[in-house]
Structure 1
Amino acid sequence: MTGWELVGVCAAGVAAGGINAVVGSGSLITFPSLVAVGIDPVVANVSNSIGLVPGSFTGAYGYRAELKGQRDRLIRLGMASALGSLVGGVLLLYLDPDVFQVVVPILIGLACVLVVVQPKLNGWLAARREHAHPHGGLGLWLGVLAAGIYGGYFGAAQGVLLIGLLGSFLDDGLQRVNAAKNVLSLIVNGVAAVLFIAIAEVDWWAVLAVALGAMAGGFIGAKVGRRIPAPVLRGVIVVVGIAAIIKLVYG
């Protein structure tokens, strides 16, 4: 990457930090940015996953007050996230790269749909929560496992998936649900990062740019993001997602 491309990717990381605070789909900014500067899609996905770990940590740390009393729950669900992430990462590395080229545009499209429907999803969760299971049960564990596989393989909008699962199965407030989501996302990204560092091809300049941007976004991006109307941010994400689909399909 050139110097200006590094700056652009870093800026995308900052934007992703703000977007994650509002709609939880920052990878739909950073991943297409890496592909746009000419990085192979699989390498871009690997590097993006590693680079987002610092941002995941700052997000989880920022919700430390809401995490009180959730240790047992997070240990149980964290095991599902870790196992799922490992399976998803192995699938990414060992499936034919052509499969990734075919599947990822579909996953990006799904992520864009989730971003668009999130307001209605949140309303449904609010009505559903009073009937939710206090501990989630096996259904939630299996759902978090599946979300971990998705996150290890690709990961865009995994936060939206996790909020939907946790909010549906747990009898808890949305802020505490979001705090748990941040920890589970950190586990998924962290496990995938360890796997990728050990055995995958990594673009370390891309990792550095995404990591610096994501860390900055964790501190200042959220403040900026909250001042921008959520529909505008969702519109930006959908446009970027469509551009990524076009880039991956037509080159």
Structure 2
Amino acid sequence: MEIAIVLIVGIIAGFVNVVGGGGSLITLPVLILLGLPSAVANGTNRIALMVQSIVAIGYFKNKGYFYPKLSVILGIPALVGSILGAKFAISMSDALFNRVLAIVMLVVLVLIILRPEKWFLSEEKGEDLSKIRLIAASAVFFAVGFYGGFIQAGIGFIIISALALITGMSLVKINSLKVAVTLIYMSASMLVFIFSGKVDWVLGLALAAGNALGAYLGGIFTVSGGDKWIRIFLVVTVSLMSAKLLGIHKILF
């Protein structure tokens, strides 16, 4: 039953990731609500994210958008930060992690609704990859890596906003760098969870399979206004799961 639930949730998350973004806001709390300790749910969720990143890199590379040198420049500080973030997540109690996750989910939900990356993306601004800009980006990506190693949920919106603001890159280039850098730091944080015994491989692989199918379905989703309905779905679903993690439902009902 758990495998079936995780597979279905994976399909939904993969679909959401392609159409609107924020799939981990669903998968991570669902794994916790299924009874996995927070650290195990956190590590298990990363299996699907690793597979997703590898597939996405292949797609961007085939389209001619692949920047290995820049990915490494941003990926190294993110990798260091992710190791520290993963260790921090593992050391945290389940109760505290669940509260932090619930609050983060609500904050990221606001980012999904407001889409602040649009404020920084501008075709007229032009790309600036000067030395000082790259140093600033590297410093920011250490923090990005820490957050990614810690929780990961909604990291895509943070990366897009940061790169758009600091470098003025195009959205396509930013998305290509996003998946490449994510794979670099995710590999390191994943090892921390594996060596700590915090991964459920059966549920993780089921989640990855569901994600792959959901991503495919999302890719062919062409219904007008689909992105709008995905956002409404996220608002309702994430709000309910946040309330559950915070225990607010006990007060209300």
RMSD: 2.2
Work out whether 1:125 is the aligned partner of 2:120. Answer: yes
For 1:190, what is the secondary structure of its paired residue? Answer: helix
**Match in the other structure for 1:147:** 144
Structure 1 pair 11–221 and aligned structure 2 pair: CA distance change class (3 A):
farther
Structure 1 pair 196–225 and aligned structure 2 pair: CA distance change class (3 A):
farther
**Match in the other structure for 2:32:** 35
Q: Is the 8 A contact 1:19 1:222 kept in 2?
A: no
**Match in the other structure for 1:176:** 173
Q: Is the 8 A contact 1:22 1:230 kept in 2?
A: yes
**Match in the other structure for 2:70:** 73
Q: TM-score, normalised on structure 1?
A: 0.88
CA-to-aligned-CA distance 1:149-173 (integer Å, 9 cap, x gap): 1111111100110011111122322
Work out whether 1:191 is the aligned partner of 2:192. Answer: no
**Match in the other structure for 1:56:** 53
Unaligned runs of 5+ residues in structure 2 are none
Q: Distance in 1 between matches of 2:44 and 2:158?
A: 22
Following TM superposition, where does structure 1 have runs of at least 4 consecutive aligned residues deviating by more than 4 angstroms?
225-228
CA-CA distance at 1:126 after TM superposition: 2.4
CA-CA distance at 1:179 after TM superposition: 0.9
Q: Is the 8 A contact 1:23 1:160 kept in 2?
A: no
The worse-fitting range, judged by mean Cα deviation, of 36-45 and 128-137 is 128-137
CA-to-aligned-CA distance 1:95-148 (integer Å, 9 cap, x gap): 344431331111111111111111xx2431223871653253222111111111
**Match in the other structure for 2:80:** 83
Unaligned runs of 5+ residues in structure 1 are none
**Match in the other structure for 1:243:** 240
* Percent of residue pairs bearing the same amino acid type: 26
Name the amino acid aligned to 1:106: I
Residues 151-166 of structure 1 mapped to structure 2, 5 A cutoff: 151-166=148-163
Q: TM-score, normalised on structure 2?
A: 0.87
Q: Is the 8 A contact 2:144 2:155 kept in 1?
A: yes
Query: How many pairs are equivalent?
Result: 245
Residues 2-21 of structure 1 mapped to structure 2, 5 A cutoff: 2=1, 5-21=2-18
Q: Is the 8 A contact 1:109 1:242 kept in 2?
A: yes
Q: Distance in 2 between matches of 1:214 and 1:194?
A: 21
